Structure 1
Amino acid sequence: MICIDEAVEQDGERLAGIFGVVIDRSSRAQEIQEAIQGWQRQIESMFPHVSLADLPLAIQWKGTPFSLNVIRTVVTRAKRMRVTPEEVINLVAQEGPEVILPPLDLDE
């Protein structure tokens, strides 16, 4: 079985492109983008070396470290759910970002 990092390395750019297109067409696109931006801010607060300069590119789903982290999360969730990454991306578009992202508890 292929490991998560290998799957991301081999398929990351393709999945990032699919993710961008599917999410942009989703009726929940703004909600998903905002949740992912919040996730990015939380990551940056925990890991100061992650650059804010990555954010505009990550939102466009280019091959930045952050966009690949989103794809790594998609691949990880796909493995846990025993579905394809494309099916997870479609679930995110239909059901919202909570499918792949941990809820942000800003009060903690």
Structure 2
Amino acid sequence: MKAPVFKVMLLGLVICLSSSGIGLLNQVLAGDSLKLYYEESAQIELIGPEGSRVLIDVNDPSALSGPPTAQDVLLTTHNHGDHRRLDFINSFPGKQLDVKTGEI
């Protein structure tokens, strides 16, 4: 159980280091708090102090703190049904990295 938690934390760090997540990382390093919500399955929502969000493996969009915005970032780690909702991915208004290596 420790390995998946470590992988999620590592993924969160990688996303925070991406160009669109750098503001979130700067806020956290400045001492502001970062909220982490674990919903069901593997769904994680990271929310910075200014409201910027990184959404990981969204399976239940209704469990998110709010509807997705163009400022949000979506990461989908792999193709299992509990990690990847095509309807959500296809309608997501922000930047996303979907089951591939890359940069945002």
TM-score range relative to shorter protein: 0.3 to 0.5
More helix as a share of residues = 1
More strand as a share of residues = 2
Normalising to structure 1: TM-score of the pair?
Answer: 0.34
Higher relative contact order (CA 8 A, sep 6+): 1
